[in-house]
Amino acid sequence: MLNTNTPEIQFAIHAVRQASILVQQIQVEMIQTALTKDDRSPVTVADFAAQALVGYLLDQHFPNDAMVGEEDSAVLQTPEEHQTLAQITKFVSRFTKGATPESVCAWIDRGSAESAPRFWTLDPIDGTKGFLRGDQYAVALALVENGKVQVGVLGCPKLPSPSGRRAGDEGTNNGSIYIAARGQGAWAAPLADETNLTPIHVSPLTDPTQARLMRSFESGHTNVGQMDYFSQALGVQAEPVRMDSQAKYAVLASGGGEIYLRLLSAKRPDYREKIWDQAAGAIIIEEAGGRVTDLHGQALNFGLGRTLANTRGICATNGVLHEHALKALQEISA
């Protein structure tokens, strides 16, 4: 059973839930036809506001802990971004005391730390295009100690709780939250009531030809052509499940798919995964009974800086299909 009385677990759940509510409010009040972060769009405001809020909450609960986050405030402190910073401050002030442009920037910059023996890593909005389209996105927070994730929480405002959900079916919902702690299993709850915990488990499927591949709408960080070759090598006959963000990890962990890959894009062969893109989702899959490695089957090390520096891509599965997936990866790269 999950020990929700542990201060770290309590903090992670509270911070992700509050940040998820905050970005939902920004989405409702600001959404427009912006398509990239460079537009200083609603996703820009939401990214910075969520990181500021988690930085503020970290100051309240674990002031001595480092945080490795996606954003820093440098761009917000330019004259051109004065209005953007004012918008961010307005939203953050709904959830904090004493929010000013200066304090908001300081809270954001809590995320500028390098990795340490113990630190938190945050992706304030994973799946920016999904956020803008009104599709899947996630707030992802994890606690890392000595290179290994100990606690991971995903806030998925567009993803229903696992009860009664079909893979890829978003339905009408108020979102969900996914929680895992090392040795304590993986759990899901409605975002509106994080105390209503349900244990989640990966799919027991053993036939690789029936495996449902978790595939993204966006292709920026993966190799779409190789994904097709992988599917052929594995003999997959099932339709893939398509969605944005680490919400894929939540769905895989709760039995809605079997395999998720991050292959190196031909356009970015030297790309290395950012730790905040993987930490929370990885522990949730592992504690749900699955397995997460790089494309060569090596364990992920989250203690090497802001990236998984020694890791090439990601292979996440329901566990029983992992060796099948690694074998197929070897075939397509031979």
Structure tokens at 174: 């108020």
- Which regions in the chain score pLDDT beneath 50? 33-38, 164-172
Specify the pLDDT at position 40. Answer: 52
Contacts of 205 (CB under 8 A, 6+ apart): 211, 258, 318, 320, 321
What amino acid is encoded at 36 in this protein?
T
Structure tokens at 161: 């709780």
Specify the pLDDT at position 167. Answer: 42
User: What number of residues does the chain have?
Assistant: 334
What amino acid is encoded at 333 in this protein?
S
Catalytic residues: 47, 128
Specify the pLDDT at position 248. Answer: 96
DSSP 323: H
- Structural domains in the chain plus CATH codes: 7-199 (3.30.540.10), 208-333 (3.40.190.80)
Q: Parallel, antiparallel, or unpaired for β 66-69 and 118-126? A: parallel
Specify the pLDDT at position 219. Answer: 56
Specify the pLDDT at position 185. Answer: 98
The three-state secondary structure class of 71 is coil
Specify the pLDDT at position 54. Answer: 98
CB 205 within 8 A of CB 259: no
Strand order in the sheet with 118-126: 66-69, 118-126, 138-145, 148-156, 176-181, 186-190, 198-199
Spell out where the chain has E strands: 66-69, 118-126, 138-145, 148-156, 176-181, 186-190, 198-199, 213-215, 241-242, 259-262, 291-293, 314-317
User: Could you give the C-alpha distances from 131 to 42, 124, 275, in angstroms and in order?
Assistant: 9, 12, 20
User: In 201-319, which residue ranges form alpha helices assigned H by DSSP?
Assistant: 224-234, 247-253, 279-287
Q: Considering Cα of 318, then 321, then 327, then 332, what sign does the dihedral take?
A: negative
pTM of the predicted model as reported, rounded to 2 decimal places? 0.93
Specify the pLDDT at position 223. Answer: 61
CB 62 within 8 A of CB 14: no
In the beta sheet, which residues pair with residue 142?
121, 152
Phi and psi at 168, nearest 5°, equal: 80, 0
